[in-house]
């Protein structure tokens, strides 16, 4: 009975009571490094399967023992293939004394309440079977041919150009730790469903500049781990007080909240890069680190036309070597709200207000409601103290001017 209640608590913790289509974001350092992001679609049967997978993976992680700080990353892709068909993939990476990568995908047809298989998507899959296995063996030469002969095509995603097949490493007895995949160009396939291709985005937005003098008291409010269902409400409050923020975004959420990104820039806030999957960057190779950065840059530019120049490292962890791998400016903070930990408006205010000075960069998060609850009081109090609110880029520019005097 206790196990059943514990599972229900975790489900509620991770899923919450969602009403609108949104992304659940659960990021913590309480018990290891945990970054979980996944979509809530408002399709009950699909959401149940997604949350069940997330919970199984989370429990698997919590029961593992490790000599080093354990890390769990769950990220997603979400694609509306057409007006009826949705494709969701969930990638999980568990790092303990070894690394485990897994993937789970769901392709759901709203019109007939059916989960689609590859046979529902691709005509004459049998005819492709030989070519797929041949390519797998060429790409992963350590694969076991006996295992490969019985391999299934359960996990797949679709974008505007490719059908991507995924295979968990154990499935073909490969010694690779990373997920195994093949991209098959859509123009080489006869598909049984229509693909709605996204039109190119020609909207180019830039940040509105504020009039700030060298003598002004300034502070930059920053928000990590979004966007989320709370970000619009944060923007409402910023707009009410003629203030702005700098939002360090997780790349895999960008397309889901494209309208929110456009609003950020239109109303004078700034967008920064916070990696694509919120992994601990100091464990990544140069290539993997650059992929985390570049995928986020591309996602933001695709939606807004704006290219970020700022980067905030996940968990605040970085090295000078990592900094040398990108031209982006690394940005930390000097005032930490610890909103994710204290979960109290009064405690957040106490962590921020006594510690702000001119030139401060304040760390908050917009993937939960704690910072939202405290934001109006923060703005009112700092305005009464004579502070002006600027983006991080404006603050850094002002700092340079002051130093050059």
Catalytic residues: 224, 365
366 is written with which tokens?
A: 């917009």
Q: Is 17 helix (H, G, I), strand (E, B) or coil?
A: coil
185 and 162 in contact (C-beta within 8 Å)?
A: yes
Report the DSSP beta bridge partners of residue 164.
Answer: 157, 183
Torsion angle, CA of 141/142/146/152, rounded to 10 degrees?
Answer: -80
Which has the closest alpha carbon to 223: 26, 364, 395, 379? Answer: 364
Which has the closest alpha carbon to 73: 56, 88, 55, 94? Answer: 94
Q: How many secondary structure helices (H) and strands (E) does the chain include?
A: 13, 17
143 and 136 in contact (C-beta within 8 Å)?
A: yes
3-state helix, strand, coil in the chain (%, to 5): 40, 25, 35
Distance CA(346)–CA(191), nearest Å, equals 56
Distance CA(176)–CA(307), nearest Å, equals 34
Which has the closest alpha carbon to 235: 225, 223, 219? Answer: 223
Q: DSSP letters of 361-388? A: EEEEESSSSHHHHHHHHHHHHHHHTTEE
Residue ranges with strand state E in 268-324: 270-273, 310-311
Q: How far is CA 131 from the centre of its chain?
A: 34
Cα-trace Rg, the chain: 23
351 is written with which tokens?
A: 């962590």
Distance CA(274)–CA(292), nearest Å, equals 9
Counting Cα atoms < 13 Å in the Cβ hemisphere of 31 gives: 8
Cβ neighbours of residue 118 closer than 8 Å, sequence gap 6 or more:
125, 153, 154, 156
Q: Is 281 helix (H, G, I), strand (E, B) or coil?
A: helix
């Amino acid at each position: 009975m206790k196990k059943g209640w514990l599972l229900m608590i975790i489900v509620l913790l991770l899923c919450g009571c969602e009403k609108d289509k949104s992304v659940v974001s659960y990021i913590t350092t309480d018990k290891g490094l945990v970054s979980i992001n996944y979509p809530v679609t408002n399709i009950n049967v699909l959401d149940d399967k997604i949350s069940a997978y997330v919970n199984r993976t989370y429990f698997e992680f919590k029961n593992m023992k490790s000599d080093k700080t354990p890390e769990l990353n769950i990220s997603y892709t979400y694609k509306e293939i057409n007006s009826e068909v949705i494709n969701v993939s969930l990638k999980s990476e568990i790092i303990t004394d070894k690394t485990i990568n897994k993937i789970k995908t769901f392709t759901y047809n709203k019109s007939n309440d059916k989960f689609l298989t590859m046979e529902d998507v691709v005509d004459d899959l049998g005819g492709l079977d030989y070519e797929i296995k041949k390519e797998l063996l060429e790409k992963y030469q350590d694969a076991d041919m006996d295992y490969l002969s019985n391999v299934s095509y359960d996990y797949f995603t679709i974008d505007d150009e490719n059908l991507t097949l995924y295979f968990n490493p154990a499935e073909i007895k490969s010694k690779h730790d990373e997920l195994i995949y093949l991209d098959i160009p859509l123009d080489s396939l006869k598909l049984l469903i229509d693909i709605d291709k996204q039109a190119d985005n020609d909207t180019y937005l830039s940040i509105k500049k504020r009039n700030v003098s060298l003598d002004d008291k300034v502070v930059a409010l920053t928000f990590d781990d979004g966007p989320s269902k709370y970000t619009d409400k944060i923007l409402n409050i910023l707009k009410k007080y003629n203030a702005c923020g700098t939002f360090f975004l997780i790349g895999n959420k960008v397309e889901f909240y494209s309208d929110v990104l456009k609003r950020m820039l239109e109303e004078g806030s700034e967008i920064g890069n916070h990696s694509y999957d919120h992994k601990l960057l100091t464990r990544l190779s140069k290539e993997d680190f650059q992929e985390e950065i570049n995928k986020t840059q591309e996602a933001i530019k695709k939606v807004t036309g704006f290219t970020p120049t700022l980067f905030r490292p996940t968990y605040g962890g970085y090295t000078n070597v990592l900094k040398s791998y990108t031209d982006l400016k690394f940005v930390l903070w000097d005032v930490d709200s610890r909103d994710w930990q204290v979960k109290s408006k009064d405690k957040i205010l106490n962590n921020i207000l006594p510690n702000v000075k001119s030139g401060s960069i304040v760390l908050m998060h917009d993937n939960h409601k704690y910072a939202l609850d405290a934001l109006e009081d923060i703005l009112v109090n700092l305005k009464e103290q004579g502070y002006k609110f600027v983006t991080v880029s404006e603050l850094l520019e002002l700092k340079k001017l002051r130093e050059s005097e």
